[in-house]
Structure 1
Amino acid sequence: MASEETRVVAGRYRLRSVLGSGSMGTVWSAYDEFLHRPVAVKEILLPPGVTAGQADELRERTLREARAIAVLSHPNVITLHDVARQDGEPFVVMELLPSHSLAELIRDHGPLSVEQAAAVGDAVAAALGAAHNAGITHRDVKPGNVLVAEDGRIKLTDFGIARNVSDASMTRTGMTLGSPAYIAPEVASGRAVTPAADLWGLGATLFCAVEGHPPYDADGDPLETIGRVVKGDVPRPSPGPLAPLISALMAKEPRDRMPLAQVRRELYPILEKAPRVLFGPEMFAAASGQREAATDTREISASRLAEGLAEGELAADPGPLPFAGPSGTGELAPDPGPLPFGAAPSGGTLTADPAPARPVAASGPGGRSVRATVVLVAVSIVVFLTAAFGGFVAARVIGAQPVVPPSKEQTVEPSAPQPTVFERRTGEASNVKGAPGGAFTVDVPVDWTRFTSSQAGDDLPPSTLVQFVSADGSQMLAVNHFPKYFPANSVTDYVSALGRSRSNAGFTLVYEAKLAEQDGVTMMYRTIDRSTTGSVSRTTYANVIRQGTSLWVVGVTVPTDQEETAKVALYDRIVPTFQVTG
């Protein structure tokens, strides 16, 4: 049996060293032997004595993380590469970011500066904004889940208990609780989990960043810590530029917490004046002065594989050339290139030597006459041309290519892309209490994945959101159900509330018109997802429909540069197939 250091998962991911290990699993530094790149691989770790049901829940948590981050494509969120299976167990393959966790930096270097903490706050707020827009609540925002790289990148990781479609199956145990020192009071007291819980986690993380310790005692009894979170006063940070923001995030009532867009606006003036390099190399040096560059925590077993090193060196090789030299063994190139001679001036004779002609003596070498020399040269040229052309023909034949180069008419055009295959899918958008009236069907591309979540806030009443997301996360169908919306509200109220809730995201309503055959409107609007590294413009086509006392919003969201093709290929194809079934 192979040793731990030489294990290969799914035939391509070679596990190299342990980056971290806990009660829920082990994270490995690994190498993708197919794409020649370092990756992080999360493996389920089953503690001794767990029941079959508990083991299934641990597996579900691993897959939950994969499903959550698969939806997100954001520079401040760790990227998902693959979900592989080995011996029936799932392994989550993710981006390997050479970094330290924020918890490590605070432990080793003490509190952050105001500018450093502001950069962390802005990055985490951007990541959470993308997650919340995708219907995902992280639920475990804390310094240990924030990664800081030496090049300045800051990413949120560990969506293992994020709230999505699998939520109902994950509420029977304490696994969904999160970290007691950073848990929101409403979650600790057993109330509903909403995105506002992540606002508290962000505030508690920033508290630790500027104070150097958690807002509550993380090293004491967990139950006692939770009791203080629920019943005790909220700790106040020391006076400083970030103190008001932290207090606004750590409000006891979820509705009183500062929205993420406002958080980023408050941090912008600090970041605008911050130095370009906030986290110097001294913060990333291990105590011994040596640290592996491809790990994100201190390695537990840090032996480097000789074969892994060799593979890393081979990865730098661009691969075999498309042809072999005279002594090579590879196949001949399909086109051997121009023949090894040039053309003389128009009407002239072909020559095998493009160098300037030398004067010809009256008699050739060895006493040959000029005529004999000319005849000999002519014969040589004919022989050379015959050999050259013969070699050209041989090369074309050996390369399985026609002797005559193909004409433009013969050129094979690239095949047209395969049309998208759709299938009828069902969804359940009832509210959390299971009220009837939320079932529906709709045509969706076969490879899109479904997610379900509950929504609240943003000037809109509670709703259930069902999303179908493309494999690359760039395209999405969203079905949002607002039960008992009418008669207290109107369709116009929804459109107005939507504009207010998205005002910080550059909301632009392009058009709105009444639907011809349904009670409602069709609309198109654009929004902008902003992050510390740039922004992405997105376009949404949506139908806002009244169905009895319920409001249904069915929309397709795509990158704005795809909006013209997506309207025909997705919106016009999908939305008309939507039907409420009960």
Structure 2
Amino acid sequence: MPEASPPVPERLIAGRYRLRTLVGQGSMGTVWEAYDEYLHRPVAVKEVRLPPGVPQAEADELRERTLREARAIAVLAHPNVITLHDVAREDGEPFVVMEYMRARSLADLIKSHGPLATAQAAAIADAVAAALQAAHQAGITHRDVKPGNVLVGEDGRVKLTDFGIARNVSERTMTRTGIMLGSPAFIAPEVATGDDVTPAADLWGLGATLFAAVEGRAPYDPDGEALATISAVVHGDIPQPESTGPLREVITALMVKDPNRRIDLAEMRRRIFPLLPEPDRPLFTTEEFHAPLPDEPEHDETDLIDPVSDAEAPAAPPTPPLAPDPGPLPFRTAPHRTTGRRRRTALARTFVVLTAIVLFVIATAAGFAATRTLGGKELLPPAAETGTNLLPGNTAPIREAELQLQPADASTLKGSRGGGFMVTAPKDWAKFVEQRENKSLLSSVRVHFVSPDGKNVLAVERFPMFFPGRTVRQYIDALRAGAGGQDFRTIEPRELPPRSATGEERPTQLDYRTAERGASSKDDQQAFARRTTFSQIIPLDADLWVISLTVPIEAENSGRDLFTKIAPMFMITG
């Protein structure tokens, strides 16, 4: 699949849309201020970029689906919705044409001056609720309602943007069959667990957005570890607003874990109607609207999170949530860096922006993109050192749990074929799905099953279209390089019977330990071995599959026993 061409201004798209000014760029596209030469009006144009490594057949399917679904969403016309005008083709690639509007996001306004006044928050919530009512009546569920997707114009207009185009373009996931790249601080519990998404998910998102407007902060930490945040959303107590104002009851009625118990949009609007400002009163003064963003410390996209030592770590609760620190997973996409600075772009400093467009890009690049996964880091950070050598053969047991044969999907694109599989996994291990952009290999999709304490990870990873251009040896070399050379110690490599003919490649059992060195010299072979991974590398037709179980070194024996139960039952269903 050819790579996207570099941004070129003054291009004429579909004989109609003249690209003028580059507004922003993200991993999934480039956004332009443009001019419609047919209707003589300014528009915003999103140049869609396909995810790297997508096979040609899936890329073609994705292009067609982008056109179909975008045009379906275009039927949604409402004064509180950023309008999708068109999806055009140029050189076979889709370009999304949207309404041009100068505005600020609610997220920026909250950053500028903290909690909003009751009338301001009520007006914004009412407008978003009206937009969602129109969407739901048209059969559209937004699924990513958050302050970053709420746009406020200086004239007081409020619009909701990003009705699924970015998700339909990439369908890249962090959990499940269903949550998109977006902030886990605002997703509904049923979305986080991968259950069927209904319009009720938008009610939770609206409640969380209203929470942020009233409190001046998100209900969950938007900068925390994604898995820890998701675990808190699913298993933790629902955050309660500290404010005792009239919107508190509305927020708590929307942020209810049971989707069927959330108040509906009509009831929500009825409750806040008395709180709305006078029609002729501006929502924000000029000074408020143009208030600068507070200075924020600059940091690199690959910040290193210092591990917490056992002595500093708090005692675990009786039933701990998913730990944010279960130790390194066996494959790294980029080396850790201890320092670095991120250049803030001019766009980040701009206070009045092209709303629909910029947020369209941010919706795909922000949120989870700010987490370790898209920053080139592991899904979970390294574990803390215990300060003693952990020798192989220790027998700390893995907590027993009922094993259950579970279906899952490692497709690059939702709805595409070839990624289905069945795996036997402990029944109470949480499932998360991650799309990985590996620099040394093709992109892959990895499905994680994580134990409740976060210490053990069962993973199934699929590299589509890996063969015939690559070899199993290249995968192992990349794995070894990512683990740090001498800190990657193979235990028992051996070939396995083939599952399907794939040239000369054969399945391989690869068990290894990962270690992290202490203060000794580089040549000192004494290292802190911390994690053991049992894996099978399986070539199947054009794809490479890897099933693995990673456990703490002290649980190596019980981990081996568990893997011998899991691996033989692994089935690829396509």
Computing the radius of gyration from Cα coordinates, the structure with the larger value is 1
Q: TM-score range with shorter-chain normalisation?
A: 0.3 to 0.5
State the structure with bigger RCO (CA 8 A, min sep 6), 1 or 2. 2
TM-score (norm 2): 0.47
TM-score (norm 1): 0.47
